[in-house]
Chain A
């Protein structure tokens, strides 16, 4: 049976992350589209505050596919931002991307006990808009002409993701 897995990033992973992040299909969906240099990536990793930001690589049958992350974690306000990108274009429309998102949102809401998520998305990033709508995000405000801000409460997430979680558990046979 095919198996999805998730691991926290380590130093050995950061150049793979950089390679993915600099690919056009990833970079062009980001609010910040700058090219990331090798040394800049190393400095970013060394300066990473692991209490407020957590990055994971997700894999499918031992093959690294992409990255999911929780950033701007605020345990006082109980808020965070979630992010995902698929590095390997062979997996762009695969359920493993959704599995990875559900996995970290469950982690954020039920293990870290956070309550609200915010997302900043380019208005022409259709996959991210589809994903976030399905997870239960609601439009909050325009932060620019091309950028929207969205909000997701834990209750909305539980309600919206129920069937998706059932699909991943019962049908794709993955643990969540």
Chain B
């Protein structure tokens, strides 16, 4: 189990992408305007900071929601 909670992950996600509303927690990632090509690089750095590994770009691209991305991070992070 990861030491990083979903709450913390989502808070840092929003902070780094400078998202102000709360919709992002349940929205599809593709519908979040800040989650674009630069946004994905920024989030990969967020994940590296929180979970200590570099996530494959495919996961950033394929995860549909923030919760799904968090689950990937927890799974991937366990092997590091």
A residues in contact (CB < 8 Å) with B:
86, 92-98, 126-127, 130-131, 133-134, 163-164, 167-168, 170-172
Contacts and interface: CB of A to CB of B under 8 A. Distances in A.
Interface stretch (B2-10, B20-28, B34-42, B71-79): B34-42
A151 to B, nearest CB: 19
A167 B38 contact: no
A99 to B, nearest CB: 9
Contacts of A130: 33-34, 36, 38-39
Majority secondary structure of chain A interface residues (helix, strand, loop or mixed): helix
A167 B45 contact: yes
12 contacts: A93-B61, A96-B37, A97-B37, A98-B37, A126-B36, A127-B37, A130-B33, A163-B45, A164-B41, A168-B41, A171-B44, A172-B57
B67 interface: no
Nearest to A126: B33
A16 B48 CA distance: 38
A170 B45 CA distance: 12
A167 B34 contact: no
Interface in B31-59: 33-42, 44-45, 54, 57
